[in-house]
């Protein structure tokens, strides 16, 4: 997921205390593991299948499973904090969480306030419409259409940057299910979502009323993120653990559980 404009990020940071209190996060400078070492607070998106989602009272998905496997490899103690994506970057920049693995696209804009790991997944933005829609088959068909977009994501950035060009009507939602429903119910003409997320949803949900229209609009790497200039050791361990998982085949096993080749 790509995120808000930098201005939006900084404005959201001012409100981060209120946002994070709603998510149950607190300052964690003194957080310690059972052996006295630092226990990191790491966020994931609370509703972002197949990367992170709740099932039978527990969180799973590509992000959650990768983090767990890397933590075991590198002996990282952490507490997982599922939350709305819109609050994750403010939480990192205000030091209320130590890092995040949340389907977060690595962008130059984000690099101004965050440090990223090596890319752990190559994603891209897809255009999605209702199955009954035959008028939208690609970007050139968006003139005068209404967009369903999730706050703080790559889809939002793309829609906002092209709002004037295509005369788009933007409709913002806080989570992916609400964004999907707007198009399924034909309240909006299209939505913008990362390819693996929407491909997983369509495959996993036989009742889905959505389809992908045309080719991917973008291509981008997802990365684990920490506050710029902070938690360098955590970032180093993540990169080292990720390399080990790729070398020993565990990475492919995790990915293939959720996304078919």
**So what's the pLDDT on residue 194?**
86
The bridge status of strand 146-150 relative to strand 169-173 is: parallel
Both 37 and 131 in a single domain? Answer: no
Are 73 and 245 in contact by the 8 Å Cβ rule? The answer is yes
**So what's the pLDDT on residue 16?**
42
- Distance between CA atoms of residues 146 and 233, nearest Å: 44
**So what's the pLDDT on residue 3?**
46
Judged by DSSP in three states, 240 sits in: helix
**So what's the pLDDT on residue 116?**
98
- Distance between CA atoms of residues 101 and 196, nearest Å: 15
pLDDT band, residue 261 (cuts 50/70/90): low
Both 149 and 172 in a single domain? Answer: yes
Average pLDDT, rounded, for the chain? 87
Are 146 and 188 in contact by the 8 Å Cβ rule? The answer is yes
| Choice among 10-14, 42-46, 120-124, 232-236 with the minimum mean pLDDT | 10-14
pLDDT in tens, 109-156: 999 999 999 999 988 899 999 999 999 999 999 999 999 999 988 899
φ, ψ dihedrals at 54, nearest 5° = -90, 135
Both 90 and 111 in a single domain? Answer: yes
Domains contained in the chain, number:
2
Both 118 and 131 in a single domain? Answer: no
pLDDT in tens, 171-215: 999 998 999 999 999 999 999 998 888 888 888 888 999 999 999
Q: Is the pLDDT of residue 2 over 70?
A: no
Judged by DSSP in three states, 138 sits in: coil
- Distance between CA atoms of residues 83 and 85, nearest Å: 6
Q: Is the pLDDT of residue 6 over 90?
A: no
Both 16 and 108 in a single domain? Answer: yes
Q: Which residues touch 17 (CB under 8 Å, ≥6 apart)?
A: 94, 96
Q: Is the pLDDT of residue 22 over 50?
A: no
Q: Does 1 reside within a domain?
A: no
- Distance between CA atoms of residues 19 and 16, nearest Å: 5
Q: Does 136 reside within a domain?
A: yes
Q: Is the pLDDT of residue 19 over 60?
A: no
**So what's the pLDDT on residue 260?**
57
Q: Does 47 reside within a domain?
A: yes
The CATH number of the domain holding residue 10 is 3.40.190.10
- Distance between CA atoms of residues 180 and 178, nearest Å: 5
Q: DSSP letter string over 172-205?
A: EESSHHHHHHHHHTTSSSEEEEEHHHHHHHHHH-
Are 11 and 3 in contact by the 8 Å Cβ rule? The answer is no
**So what's the pLDDT on residue 38?**
87
Both 10 and 107 in a single domain? Answer: yes
Q: Is the pLDDT of residue 27 over 90?
A: no
In the chain, where do the E strands start and end?
40-45, 53-55, 58-60, 78-83, 99-100, 114-116, 121-123, 125-130, 146-150, 169-173, 190-194, 210-212, 220-222, 225-227
Neighbours of 168 (CB within 10 A): 21
**So what's the pLDDT on residue 259?**
81
Q: Provide the domain limits for residue 172.
A: 125-212
| Tally of CA atoms within 13 A in the half-sphere of 11 that contains its CB | 6
Both 111 and 18 in a single domain? Answer: yes
Both 116 and 138 in a single domain? Answer: no
Both 78 and 157 in a single domain? Answer: no
Both 183 and 54 in a single domain? Answer: no
**So what's the pLDDT on residue 200?**
85
pLDDT band, residue 15 (cuts 50/70/90): very low
Torsion of CA 173, 158, 44, 77, to 10 degrees: -160
Both 157 and 233 in a single domain? Answer: no
Both 107 and 16 in a single domain? Answer: yes
Q: Please give the DSSP secondary-structure letter assigned to residue 134.
A: -
pLDDT in tens, 82-101: 999 999 999 999 999 999 99
Q: Does 35 reside within a domain?
A: yes
Are 147 and 213 in contact by the 8 Å Cβ rule? The answer is no
Q: Is the pLDDT of residue 7 over 60?
A: no
Q: Does 200 reside within a domain?
A: yes
């Amino acid at each position: 997921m790509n995120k808000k404009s930098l201005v939006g990020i900084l404005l959201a940071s001012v409100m981060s205390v209120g946002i994070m209190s709603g998510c149950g996060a607190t300052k964690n400078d003194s957080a310690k593991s059972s052996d006295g070492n630092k226990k990191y607070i790491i966020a994931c998106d609370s509703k972002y299948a197949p990367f992170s989602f709740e099932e039978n009272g527990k969180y799973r998905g590509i992000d959650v499973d990768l983090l767990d496997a890397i933590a075991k490899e590198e002996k990282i103690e952490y507490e997982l904090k599922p939350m709305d994506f819109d609050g994750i970057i403010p939480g990192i920049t205000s030091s209320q969480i130590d890092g995040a693995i949340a389907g977060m696209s690595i962008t130059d804009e984000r690099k101004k306030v965050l440090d990223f790991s090596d890319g752990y997944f190559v994603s891209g933005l897809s255009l999605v419409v209702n199955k009954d829609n035959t008028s939208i088959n690609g970007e050139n068909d968006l003139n005068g259409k209404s967009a369903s977009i999730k706050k703080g994501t790559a889809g939002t950035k793309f829609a906002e940057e092209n709002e004037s060009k295509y005369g788009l009507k933007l409709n913002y939602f806080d989570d992916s299910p609400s964004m999907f429903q707007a198009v399924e119910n034909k309240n909006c003409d299209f939505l913008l979502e990362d390819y693996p997320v929407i491909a997983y949803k369509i495959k996993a949900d036989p009742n889905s009323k959505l389809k992908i229209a045309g080719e991917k609009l973008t291509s981008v790497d997802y990365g684990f993120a920490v506050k710029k200039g902070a938690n360098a050791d955590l970032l180093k361990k993540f990169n080292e653990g990720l390399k080990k998982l790729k070398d020993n085949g565990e990475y492919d096993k995790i990915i293939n559980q959720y996304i078919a080749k």
